[in-house]
Structure 1
């Protein structure tokens, strides 16, 4: 009888510690991630870790001028702050009235714009690419040229762990 009580006490302690560990992992903020999702369906297309100072840039070809445009954002907290725009020629939708500088044939300016989310419509002609630090994603291919929403999300340690283990769950089935 004594041995059985010890086993039950041991099992209860293990269950309590396990519950506390899972609750702690669920409540502990881990990293932030840049999420790119289909704007209509919410399907996640890209999810990649970011931190303060991470550069997130959209690069594309202007549909009329056929020249390169780069919109650069920096992660600050839960916002994407537009820190630079570069373009090679003035065209529709580009900042004609902004104070720009010209360097090596490229116009650039430093706008002051911040948002918790951006909606982008990748185009086949424009060939939108997303750069996150040194990683590049083809937004047209990933989204099949449908509108996408970019945002920063905070994930708990538990979420990050489950996401990392997801490819292994059911791998033997």
Structure 2
């Protein structure tokens, strides 16, 4: 009888351990660049849209960088801006849509595993995940952050 209980206990532990590693989907994580403290964890899936909106620090005009989730990467698919300035594409074909320059390339601009951002109070960085709006400055207290996608397991959900 003791042997049967021991075998059942071992099987339950093995099953629990295996189940803990089962993926429950993906999340977009915004974490402190230095400490790793997590400020935001938003569910996403391949095809989800992530936008980073801010005011350009020199030009003082709005910028919108658009990314698509592809597995565990962020694919930069579009940029919208109202003036040319440092860090904005100046030698590419853009379309002028009601005074906004739109760079909508046929191929992705960048494919990133990690996006580093320094949310600023003047720039007023806002993250939009699908239709969910996140004030990055308020959420992070204007701390430098790393944005990335990761898979969640049952262990992550329960912790």
Identify the structure with the greater helix proportion. Answer: 1
Instruction: List alignment gaps of at least 5 residues for structure 2.
Output: none
Matched, 1:91 2:91: no
Question: Of the candidates 129, 132, 135, which is equivalent to residue 132 of structure 2?
Answer: 135
Q: CA deviation at 1:152?
A: 1.0
Matched, 1:149 2:146: yes
RMSD over aligned Cα atoms: 1.7
Runs of 4+ in 1 over 3 A off after TM superposition: 8-14
- Larger mean Cα displacement after TM superposition, 105-114 or 53-62: 105-114
Q: CA deviation at 1:95?
A: 1.1
Matches within 5 A, 1:1-173: 5=1, 8=2, 11-12=5-6, 14-110=8-104, 111-160=108-157, 162-163=158-159
Q: Could you tell me whether the CA contact under 8 Å between 1:79 and 1:152 is conserved in 2?
A: yes
2:151, 2:34 → 1: CA distance? Answer: 22
1:123, 1:79 → 2: CA distance? Answer: 24
TM-score, normalising length from structure 1? Answer: 0.82
> May I ask how many residue pairs the two structures share in their alignment?
156
1:41, 1:93 → 2: CA distance? Answer: 27
Q: CA deviation at 1:141?
A: 1.2
Q: Could you tell me whether the CA contact under 8 Å between 1:22 and 1:158 is conserved in 2?
A: no
| SS of equivalent to 1:53 | coil
1:139, 1:147 → 2: CA distance? Answer: 10
Q: Could you tell me whether the CA contact under 8 Å between 1:61 and 1:68 is conserved in 2?
A: yes
